Chains A and B, each alone.
Chain A
């Protein structure tokens, strides 16, 4: 979609800092090593659905909770809900997933999980976030997409400003 394309092209412009055409940039991004810092840059400024603060400011997302296995194209993001009964945990995880789906090269397999012991429904939140069919269905729910886009809205501008 248009939003995803814009997010991707800005990310690559940022990481390449050059005026290569989109396809050339894409080819480079496919093979370029992406590290945990870059993944963190993509999600740190996601807005919390309930607070006027970012996931970084709330310590929901932390650099030390991101691991990138470049060789096997795997990324693991662990996030920490602010309270153990946070009803927004699934939505926050979905925002992280959508942002990474839209911004990272397709070869990456991304696992998103709640930090162990920090949420009362940890298992069910994790299961839902890592079920591709559930995620695909969620992304066809226009209300949910609108909420996710709001949480991601300022993220893109902040990425571009780096």
Chain B
């Protein structure tokens, strides 16, 4: 196996739940059980243990479960176990200011996601609901949909890469597809097949395929050839059982080279390819003990074309790592 070139970003003092790339720069934002949000500039050539360029300490009153840069890269959103979603604006000199707080969920907010245009935001919670918010500019957000069809916690929300179609993944073992019609958001499809919690989902670059990973240790690929038609349903076209030996917590489908990265409770990061002609998922690379003896909670491919082989991961060891996987992605 290749030796994996990696740089380590240290600063969090508790489990790092998520690390997400900036849309146009080699920067990451991460969040942790230490209640902070941190921003990093990634320099692959420099030594390990790079420090954050900005830290929002006490961003939330409890664990910060999820973060995201806005598509324009000027805002950061964070979702906390304190039930709040916060919007942060860079005000210079590594300082971020909270410009809005979205309240409404009854308890832990587990994920926050921007639509590709930046005009919509989705949040989901242990309260079983998914909320859709419209950005009105100047830090104003209006809730335009409260969606109550999952029967258990909603773990993650992800937008389609181009259309205003949302997918949610839940502790109720299903995923749901959400669409808008005449100003009403509704569930157009429920994807069943996993036998336990669906932790994470991601679209491929075309938005025709969706990948899901679960506590049941499997990876599934779903296809919808006509996503813009509200009556067209997803079907499961491939399943890889026992892809990891414990729960799979995160999946990222590269928009630049098409490889799928996963990670989980078995401490491993794995890379897969999917062949749409044969509907086969093939393992292509593995990084065992990516964060030592600790769970790996999140993987994210870099969205920049020229740096698409960089993979960010975050773990229970309080660290964020960036892996250079050029040979795997070629």
Contact = CB atoms under 8 A, between A and B. Distances in A.
Interface of A: 73, 106-107, 109, 127, 130-134, 136-137, 140
A2 to B, nearest CB: 15
Contacts of B108: 137
Given A136-B63, A137-B63, A137-B126, A73 B293 contact: yes
Interface in B64-100: 65, 81
Nearest to B316: A106
The 6 lowest CB-CB distance pairs between A and B, nearest first, are A107-B293, A140-B62, A137-B108, A137-B81, A140-B81, A106-B293
A127 B63 contact: no
A131 B197 contact: yes
B129 to A, nearest CB: 16
Nearest to A74: B246
B294 interface: yes
B265 interface: yes
Interface in B27-45: 33
11 contacts: A73-B293, A106-B316, A107-B293, A109-B246, A127-B197, A130-B215, A133-B110, A136-B33, A136-B81, A137-B81, A137-B126
Contacts of A136: 15, 33, 63, 81
Interface in B188-225: 196-197, 215
Interface of B: 15, 33, 62-63, 65, 81, 107-108, 110, 126, 153, 155, 171, 196-197, 215, 246, 265-266, 293-295, 316
Contacts of A137: 62-63, 81, 107-108, 126
B93 to A, nearest CB: 31
A106 B14 CA distance: 13
B15 to A, nearest CB: 7
Contacts of A109: 246, 265-266
Contacts of A127: 171, 196-197
Contacts of B265: 109, 132
Nearest to B265: A109
A140 B197 contact: no
B155 A133 contact: yes
A134 B126 CA distance: 9
Contacts of A132: 265, 295
Contacts of B63: 136-137, 140
B173 to A, nearest CB: 10
A9 B197 CA distance: 36
Contacts of B316: 106
Contacts of B110: 133
B232 to A, nearest CB: 32
Contacts of A106: 293-294, 316
A134 B197 CA distance: 12
Contacts of B197: 127, 131
A136 B107 CA distance: 13
Nearest to B33: A136
A16 B62 CA distance: 36
Contacts of B155: 133
A155 to B, nearest CB: 24
A136 B35 CA distance: 12
